[in-house]
């Protein structure tokens, strides 16, 4: 039995909670996946999964062994990547995660440009709107938008994106344009439930700070949903510059309350360790820093269009 491959199969089945889906993900037959699990079970002398006709779950022993298996896989990945640290041309798989909004707005384009420069790299891009554990999911680089970084991660800032309060021309024509933040109580707002606090917006101008409670007909943890609802005339929305600016330039959204500053956040490239950093990780992060340096003028200030 190839124990390293068995650990890979074990972690994939644990992640997918399904032997067939794990087999498809690993490009293996279900029979081979089952054989690896049985061999690993015999080698460890314990049952790893509880199985029924409808579900697969880890046993208590399986949970204990999974954490160790993931550490082993991480170590073997580092061993495989050590040779890359001394090569000028990066090659191999690079696993990246990011949010739906940022992935759709900019990261896919940035990755395409990176791959043109480094054609021997294969990118596996995971789009997820919750922060995945980098070790458990074997993620090399996570692009995260936050003002509260995980202290266990190493991070390099890419851009600081201010938010823009905006609405569709049709909504403002029908309801009027608020001139002061306090007037938002008379309007419908579209709220991102992932923001904290999500039921109010804070505005700043000079030395004055104003917290405005919101009335909302739509809350969502996905900012793209709110963006599309605003385009359809559903209400006033607070969007990050990287989403709002193109829509404002096209005339699809109109910025309001531009004299007031509101929420801003930093977008980071985060990773686990500087030790034996693969050339793929090093070159990708350097590329991203340079790529967004060219865009900081656009995204670090309020839109004045």
**135-156 as b/e: b if 16+ CB within 10 A:** eeebbbbbbbbeeeeeeebebe
Q: Could you tell me if residue 213 is left (phi over 0), alpha (psi between -120 and 50 degrees) or otherwise beta?
A: beta
For 28, half-sphere exposure in the C-beta direction (CA atoms, 13 angstrom radius) is 20
Q: Measuring CA to CA, which residue among 49, 53, 50 is closest to residue 9?
A: 49
Count of C-beta atoms within a 10 Å radius of residue 119 = 9
pLDDT (tens digit, 0 to 9) for every residue of the chain, 305 residues total? 454 588 889 999 998 889 999 888 888 899 999 999 999 999 989 999 998 877 889 998 888 888 888 888 777 766 665 555 545 578 889 999 888 878 777 788 889 999 999 999 999 988 876 777 787 778 899 988 877 777 788 888 888 878 899 999 999 999 999 999 999 989 999 988 777 777 888 898 888 888 888 888 888 888 889 999 999 999 999 998 888 888 998 999 999 998 888 877 788 899 887 766 788 998 999 999 888 887 655 554 444 44
3-class SS letters over the chain: CCHHHHHHHHHHHHHHCCHHHHHHHHCCCHHHHHHHHHHHHHHHCCCCEEECCCCEEECHHHHHHHHHHHHHHHHHHHHHHHHHHHCCCCCEEEEEEECHHHHHHHHHHHHHHHHHHCCCEEEEEEECCCCCCCCCCCCCEEEEEECCCCCCCEEEEEEEEEEEEEECHHHHHHHCCCCCHHHHHHCCEEEECCCCCCCEEEEEECCEEEEEECCEEEEECCHHHHHHHHHCCCCEEEEEHHHHHHHHHCCCCEECCCCCECCEEEEEEEECCCCCCCHHHHHHHHHHHHHHHCCHHHHCCCCCC
The model's pTM is 0.61
């Amino acid at each position: 039995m190839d124990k390293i491959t068995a650990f890979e199969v074990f972690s994939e089945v644990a992640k997918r909670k399904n032997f067939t889906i794990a087999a498809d993900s690993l490009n293996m037959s279900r029979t081979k996946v089952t054989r690896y699990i049985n061999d690993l079970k015999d080698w460890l002398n314990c049952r790893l999964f509880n199985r029924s006709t409808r579900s697969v779950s880890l046993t208590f022993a399986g949970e204990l062994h999974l954490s160790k298996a993931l550490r082993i896989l991480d170590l073997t990945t580092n061993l495989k990547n050590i040779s890359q640290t001394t090569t000028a041309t990066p090659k191999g798989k690079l696993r990246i995660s990011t949010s739906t909004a940022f992935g759709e707005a900019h990261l896919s384009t940035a990755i395409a440009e990176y791959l043109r420069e480094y054609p021997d790299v294969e990118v596996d891009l995971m789009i997820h709107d919750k922060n995945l554990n980098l070790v458990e999911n074997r993620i090399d680089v996570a692009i995260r938008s936050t003002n509260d970084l995980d202290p266990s991660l190493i991070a390099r800032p890419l851009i600081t994106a201010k938010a823009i309060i905006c609405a569709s021309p049709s909504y403002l024509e029908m309801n009027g344009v608020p001139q002061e933040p306090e007037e938002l109580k008379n309007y419908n707002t579209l709220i991102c439930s992932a923001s904290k606090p999500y039921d109010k917006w804070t505005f700043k101008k000079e030395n004055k700070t104003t917290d405005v409670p919101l009335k909302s007909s739509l809350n969502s943890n996905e900012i793209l949903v709110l963006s599309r609802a605003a385009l359809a005339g559903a209400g006033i929305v607070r969007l990050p510059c990287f989403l709002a600016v193109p829509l404002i330039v096209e005339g699809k959204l109109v910025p309001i309350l531009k004299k007031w500053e509101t929420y801003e956040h930093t977008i980071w490239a985060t990773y686990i360790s500087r030790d034996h950093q693969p050339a793929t990780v090093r070159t990708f992060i350097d590329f991203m820093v340079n790529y967004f340096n060219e865009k900081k003028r656009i995204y670090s200030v309020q839109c004045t269009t």
